[in-house]
Amino acid sequence: MPTLFHNLTVATMNDSNLGLIEQGALVCEHQRIVWVGKEADLPAQWQPLKESPQTNVNGKGGLLTPALIDCHTHLVWGGSRANEFKQRLHGVSYEAIAAAGGGILSTVRATRAATEAELFASAKERAEALIAQGVSSIEIKSGYGLSLDDELKQLRVARKLGEELPVRVVTTLLAAHALPPEYKDRADDYITYICDTILPAAAAEGLADAVDVFCENIGFTRQQTERVFAAAQALGLPVKLHAEQLSDQDGASLVASYNGLSADHLEYLSNKGIAAMAAADTVAVLLPGAYYFLRETKLPPIEAMRTAGVKMAIATDANPGTSPIFNLPLMMHMACTLFRFTPEEAWLATTKHAAQALGLTDTGELKEGMRADLALWQISAPEELCYELGINRLVQRWFAGS
Ligand code: DI6
Ligand code: FE
């Protein structure tokens, strides 16, 4: 049965002013949007929907938008790093914690030790927190397993979240996230293991929608990154990159040269990288939560990206080490306060541009034929969601129409 949404403002996201339609209306049927426009222009065939409470949603003057898309998370992990957070605030250095086996490798140990059911339970809680704030699509990376079995275990949990919760999960293989202890001082051998063993297995089981690498002086080199990209390309998988987070490795140009979906973090992005991303239409995924939690002071080059026409998305980067944050509207707020995004940019960054960063073409905008992934907010203008902090303004969310 079709459903009419009316007495609301619609933000379709199809122009830089968010495609706002005041006194708008939208009709969906069979999980898809079939009509959007001014309520006064509602075609006669849909008029009867107004008569029954079963077939219409009265928005009471609220704002109807695409449901939000969190296009960069590491949502599946074991253990907690709260103890390290505490140690650091008591004056223990990051290096000392890492030397004692802490940091990312402590999460790897905990993730390897956890069963699929345990990982599922903790990740479910995190995904539900995002859903409760209006999210309908979540990207989830592996990268805390770092062995064939443990990487696939993480990806299987991610897939299961998409099967059991009302959310679409897009998976990314990030086996090249850190060097596992058994490959200490043998990074090139680990890259060979990824290219020859982990990647083909993940692809064969349909567990990876894309492939990512942490290209950094504490991660993998540009050359190692390129080997992983070449292997991904041979398997027909799109690529993306953790690029220029802590230093400029010129990773953005590399991922753009592979027609990458996105380059992510980008605090140290150069003009060369910006030009390459603009030319390839590679989306810039900015992560204000990690910037904030690490107390980074170097801002990503927002104005230069804007001028070059690089599309910008934002995401939570939800992970135990640098962004233990499960709130996408908070990231919209922080993109405005910390990165000086306009509210319009912040909305496009969690809808239309986030969809592009995931290669999704049927969500993130409200127009005929798109999936009815919708969010109704108790606000009258888009900027209100970016402005306030601490009250959940989501009235209701629809995932493929229900
Ligand atoms: N960049 C990050 O900020 C996270 N991974 C990455 O490549 C950190 C992950 C962690 O510390 O657990
Ligand atoms: Fe990340």
pLDDT in tens, 224-251: 999 999 999 999 999 999 999 999 999 9
Which residue, among 328, 239, 248, has the nearest Cα to 288 in the 3D structure? 328
Count, residues in the chain: 402
Residue identified by tokens 């499960």 is: 326
Q: What tokens appear for 291 in the block? A: 């910037």
Any idea what the Cα angle at residue 370 is, between residues 260 and 33, rounded to 5°?
165
Per-residue pLDDT band at 97 (split at 50, 70, 90): confident
74 alpha carbon – ligand 2 mean position (Å)? 6
Residue identified by tokens 């140009």 is: 253
Residue identified by tokens 């969601």 is: 385
pLDDT of residue 42: 97
pLDDT of residue 30: 95
Q: What is the pLDDT of residues 2-59, one digit of tens each?
A: 999 999 999 999 998 999 999 999 999 999 999 999 999 999 999 999 998 899 999 9
pLDDT of residue 369: 98
For residue 225 and ligand 1, the question of a CB distance below 6 A is answered with no
Query: Is the pLDDT confidence value at 101 over 90?
Result: no
Per-residue pLDDT band at 99 (split at 50, 70, 90): confident
Per-residue pLDDT band at 182 (split at 50, 70, 90): very high
Residue nearest to atom 9 of ligand 1 (CA): 321
What residues pack around ion ligand 2 (CB closer than 5 A)?
Answer: 317
Q: What is the pLDDT of residues 349-382, one digit of tens each?
A: 999 999 999 999 999 999 999 999 999 999 999 9
Q: What is the pLDDT of residues 319-352, one digit of tens each?
A: 999 999 999 999 999 999 999 999 999 999 999 9
Residue nearest to atom 6 of ligand 1 (CA): 214
For residue 143 and ligand 1, the question of a CB distance below 6 A is answered with no
The closest-lying atom of ligand 1 relative to the alpha carbon of residue 323 is: 3
Percent of the chain predicted with pLDDT > 90:
96
For residue 320 and ligand 1, the question of a CB distance below 6 A is answered with yes
Sequence ranges of the chain with CATH classification 3.20.20.140: 68-357
Q: Let me know if domain 68-357 sits in CATH 3.20.20.30.
A: no
- What mean pLDDT is predicted for residues 149-156? 98
Question: Could you say which ligand is closest to the alpha carbon of residue 315?
Answer: 2
316 alpha carbon – ligand 2 mean position (Å)? 9
Percent of the chain predicted with pLDDT > 70:
100
For residue 214 and ligand 1, the question of a CB distance below 6 A is answered with yes
pLDDT of residue 108: 98
For residue 72 and ligand 1, the question of a CB distance below 6 A is answered with no
pLDDT of residue 95: 79
Residue nearest to atom 4 of ligand 1 (CA): 322
Three-class secondary structure assignment of the chain: CCEEEEEEEEECCCCCCCCEEEEEEEEEECCEEEEEEEHHHCCHHHHHHHHCCCCEEEEEEEEEEECEEECCCCCCCCCCCHHHHHHHHCCCCHHHHHHCCCCHHHHHHHHHHCCHHHHHHHHHHHHHHHHCCCEEEEEEECCCCCCHHHHHHHHHHHHHHHHHCCCEEEEEEEEECCCCHHHCCCHHHHHHHHHHHHHHHHHHCCCCCEEEEEECCCCECHHHHHHHHHHHHHCCCCEEEEECCCCCCCHHHHHHHCCCCEEEECCCCCHHHHHHHHHHCCEEEECHHHHHHCCCCCCCCHHHHHHHCCCEEECCCCECCCECCCCHHHHHHHHHHHHCCCHHHHHHHCCHHHHHHCCCCCCCCCCCCCECCEEEECCCCCHHHHHCCCCCCEEEEECCCC
pLDDT of residue 1: 85
Sequence ranges of the chain with CATH classification 2.30.40.10: 3-66+365-398
Per-residue pLDDT band at 74 (split at 50, 70, 90): very high
Per-residue pLDDT band at 397 (split at 50, 70, 90): very high
Query: Is the pLDDT confidence value at 96 over 90?
Result: no
pLDDT of residue 185: 96
Please indicate, yes or no, whether the overall pTM of this predicted structure exceeds 0.85.
Answer: yes
CATH number for the region 3-66+365-398 comes to 2.30.40.10
